[in-house]
């Protein structure tokens, strides 16, 4: 696809997506929790507050760990949009007071970014928002608390935090079904395992940085970004599945009227440039999403994505996963490990700074020292 054609398609899609976003407001169902977060918090949301927004479907195995992690970090509330879960996801979410749950049955592939923009504009205006998938676990570098990070962002008028996604996996590998790979309804016995945070992070503690490529963090109409912040691609998924996936997300942002995502990873910069210049800059440090995609229900998740064809390019990425898994099943392998000779075990988040996966500016580092005086 040529650049001109891509621009043309985007220009046509934008007003259609805005109409879909407007119409979505009248079809979303409220299932649990406060519809107005200022009522729950007893004050109007401000730059000192941060909430989490999550689009989820069949996230039973991870949603408890997800909620407990973000509440422990100090996020004030978590808002979920469920897109047709058939497992216990909804029941788990409803068991927490600091959650809100809405639901929509609109097609995931068409509406994913629209769902996220709906959450931003409905619940997030006037505060910091983190958009996370149910398999994303956020960590800040230098052991900074959410409170200290928000203070630094506000004092320096930053509007966005770059978050790098790091795929985590177990050295022991993921279980595979014993049935023929042509039987796409086959499930593993671990499909409904519910993980708590401590067990999740201790079992899936391996990662690999050997096949990561970089490019400058340059976007049209974006104010100058610190040269230490870069776009990252590839990683273990490129090594094993040959997919050069995009690892960088603009997933934490200060939300005002008009704030929009352009894609599931990046904000619409022209809107920020035009209206919110004072908070359009990307911060001079990066955070990390420890990404727990490759857990014990990976095979089942892959099969469902292929059957629905509701992910990017009709689940092209998941079809690549399945082609590799299929060969392992044909070879009668009971499990499949992503572990490589270059793989490492994560001991501390700041190891990722030392290994040049995350970036921390001198100013961010010094701000932490000053806050402890």
In this prediction, residue 278 carries a pLDDT of 55
Please check the confidence at residue 369 and state whether its pLDDT lies above 50: yes
Separation CA 250–CA 166 (nearest Å): 15
Q: Which residues lie closer than 8 Å to 56 by C-beta, 6 or more apart?
A: 63, 80, 81, 82, 83, 85, 89, 133, 134
Residue whose C-alpha is closest to residue 227's, from 273, 285, 153, 160: 285
Answer yes or no: is 2 within a domain.
Answer: no
Answer yes or no: is 1 within a domain.
Answer: no
Higher-confidence residue of 13 and 347: namely 347
The residue to which tokens 């008028």 are assigned: 157
Answer yes or no: is 201 within a domain.
Answer: yes
Owning domain of residue 144: 7-371
C-beta of residue 93 within 8 angstroms of C-beta of residue 32: yes
246 secondary structure, DSSP code = B
At residue 310 the predicted structure's pLDDT band, cuts being 50, 70 and 90, is confident
- Split into its structural domains, the chain has a count of 1
Please check the confidence at residue 274 and state whether its pLDDT lies above 60: no
Please check the confidence at residue 37 and state whether its pLDDT lies above 50: yes
Q: Which helix (H) or strand (E) holds 213?
A: strand 212-216
Please check the confidence at residue 361 and state whether its pLDDT lies above 70: yes
Please check the confidence at residue 183 and state whether its pLDDT lies above 50: no
Answer yes or no: is 303 within a domain.
Answer: yes
CA–CA–CA angle 204, 208, 214 (5° rounding): 135
At residue 181 the predicted structure's pLDDT band, cuts being 50, 70 and 90, is very low
Report residue 74 as tokens. 């100090």
Give residue-wise pLDDT tens across range 339-356. Answer: 999 999 999 999 999 999
Average pLDDT, the chain: 89
């Amino acid at each position: 696809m040529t650049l001109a054609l891509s621009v043309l398609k985007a220009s046509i899609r934008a007003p259609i997506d805005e109409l879909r976003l407007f119409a979505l407001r009248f079809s979303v169902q409220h299932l649990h929790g406060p519809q107005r977060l200022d009522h729950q918090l007893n004050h109007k949301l401000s730059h000192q507050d941060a909430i989490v927004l999550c689009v989820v479907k069949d996230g039973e195995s991870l949603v408890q760990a997800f909620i407990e992690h973000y509440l422990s970090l100090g996020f004030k509330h978590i808002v979920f949009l469920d897109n047709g879960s058939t497992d216990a996801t909804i029941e788990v979410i409803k068991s927490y007071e600091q959650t809100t749950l809405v639901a929509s049955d609109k097609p995931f592939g068409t509406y994913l970014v629209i769902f996220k923009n709906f959450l931003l504009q409905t619940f997030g205006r006037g505060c910091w928002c983190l958009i996370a998938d149910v398999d994303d676990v956020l960590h800040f570098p230098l052991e900074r608390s959410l409170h200290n990070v928000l203070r630094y962002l506000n004092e320096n008028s930053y509007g966005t935090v770059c978050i790098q996604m790091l795929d985590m996996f177990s050295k022991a590998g993921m279980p595979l079904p014993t049935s023929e790979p042509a039987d796409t309804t086959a499930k593993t016995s671990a499909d409904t395992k519910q993980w708590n945070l401590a067990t999740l992070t201790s079992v899936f503690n391996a990662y690999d940085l050997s096949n990561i490529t970089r490019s400058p963090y340059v976007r049209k109409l974006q104010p100058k970004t610190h040269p230490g912040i870069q776009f990252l691609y590839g990683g273990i998924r490129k090594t094993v599945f040959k997919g050069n996936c995009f690892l960088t997300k603009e997933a934490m942002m200060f939300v005002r009227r008009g704030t929009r995502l352009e894609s599931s990873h990046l904000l619409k910069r022209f809107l920020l440039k035009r209206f919110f210049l004072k908070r359009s800059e990307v911060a001079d440090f990066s955070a990390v999403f420890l990404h727990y995609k490759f857990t014990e229900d990976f095979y089942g998740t892959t099969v469902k994505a292929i059957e629905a064809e509701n992910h990017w390019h009709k689940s092209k990425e998941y079809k690549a996963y399945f082609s590799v898994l299929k060969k392992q099943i044909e070879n009668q392998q009971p499990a499949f490990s992503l572990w490589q000779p270059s793989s490492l075990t994560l001991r501390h988040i700041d190891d990722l700074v030392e290994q040049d996966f995350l970036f921390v500016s001198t100013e961010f580092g010094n701000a932490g020292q000053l806050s402890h005086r």
